[in-house]
Amino acid sequence: MRARTTMLYSILDLSPIVQGGTAAQALRNSLDLAQHAERWAYHRYWVAEHHNMPGIASAATSVVIQHIAAGTSRIRVGAGGIMLPNHAPLAIAEQFGTLESLHPGRIDLGLGRAPGSDQLTARALRRNLGSSGDSFPQDLLELQAFFRPVAPDQTLRAVPGAGLNIPIYLLGSSDFSARLAAELGLPFAFASHFAPDYIQVALQLYRENFKPSEALAKPHVMIGLNVFAADTDAAARRLFSSMQQQFLNLIRGKPGELQPPVDDVDELWNPAEAAYVQRMLHFSAVGEPATIRRELETFIEQTHPDEIIATGHIYDHDARLRSFELAASVFAQIEATRNEAGGTVSQRV
């Protein structure tokens, strides 16, 4: 008899600030979604670092993680991710050492090498420390060292942080972090929810070059996917239009708050803009539960992830809750079918 397969399902949240709303409201909504996600059996809840973005409230990512973790009890909570070039490794070690000390066994640290902003903002964040990402491998090794047990005569240490087992994930949308994650034996998360172009190349490089480590015995691939679920396909497509508008504003150089949905998004863009946004959001499951299931099963067959981390910027909070509730039901159905068919056991990370 073949062993059962277990795939993990998680949520990535940027605490979207809607048009006419506030950051305070966005952060309350994020906590409410996390509390529901815990009841719906999602594995982890991540928030992401972005700066100088009018529509995103999660810039102070460690603070938001504390907000979410303090309001939940079981679900893993973490960063998806911290943009390491913006920070001194010691500061991140202390922040996540503090989070792990407050919420033992529940904190994840996902790391990216992009600044999460434009270059002007990046310079304002880190000033003379640099923000190009060129030092990312060295900064990562320094950060890992701060989490190890204190060595004799060690003069610089993270307090708290030293000796704590905080899982580190590398995030990326190209082959750079895939290669580095494979070399260091770390889990790898690919940002296919907004950058789908290099997914197959990056996953192949990661899996073929993976070296087992103390942190991880075999590759663990997490893949981002936009999920917009509703009771009908038409209703889901309407919800999706808010995120499409957000990306349209980005490519026009006018980032802003999350806009209300529209009935016909084609009225808002020209053909070139439409093609660009559709390419960026290629990996999006949009529709009623049966449609979502078909699209998810195709996505899984194409990418073979160990974990899917779903995201969905939806203007109306109740509709957002409903979308993730429907998605959780679809995920459970897929897993039940997969377990009946049998397979190999995935490693829980």
> What's the pLDDT score for residue 211?
98
Candidates 123, 160, 165; CA nearest to 349 is 165
Share of the chain above pLDDT 70, in %: 93
Q: How far apart are CA 12 and CA 47, in angstroms?
A: 6
- Domains held by the chain: number: 1
Q: Residue 45 — φ and ψ, nearest 5°?
A: -135, 115
In a domain, 241, yes or no: no
According to DSSP, residue 56 is labeled B
In a domain, 98, yes or no: yes
Q: How far apart are CA 204 and CA 129, in angstroms?
A: 34
In a domain, 256, yes or no: no
In a domain, 257, yes or no: no
Residue 62 reports pLDDT greater than 60: yes
In a domain, 274, yes or no: no
> What's the pLDDT score for residue 4?
39
Q: Residue 196 — φ and ψ, nearest 5°?
A: -85, -10
Q: What is the pLDDT of residues 64-120, one digit of tens each?
A: 999 999 999 999 999 999 999 889 999 999 999 999 999 999 999 999 988 656 777
CB 54 within 8 A of CB 88: no
Q: What is the rounded average pLDDT of the residues 273-300?
A: 96
CATH number of the domain to which 331 belongs: 3.20.20.30
Q: What is the rounded average pLDDT of the residues 41-60?
A: 96
In a domain, 70, yes or no: yes
Tokens of 320: 């957002």
> What's the pLDDT score for residue 165?
85
CB atoms within 10 A of CB 280: 19
- Token look-up 């030293």 returns 162
CB 49 within 8 A of CB 58: yes
Identity (one letter) of the amino acid at 105? G
Q: What is the extent of the structural domain holding 84?
A: 8-229+283-341
> What's the pLDDT score for residue 120?
75
In a domain, 264, yes or no: no
Q: What is the rounded average pLDDT of the residues 179-184?
A: 97
In a domain, 270, yes or no: no
Least confident span in 121-125, 152-156, 293-297? 121-125
> What's the pLDDT score for residue 3?
38
Residue 135 reports pLDDT greater than 90: no
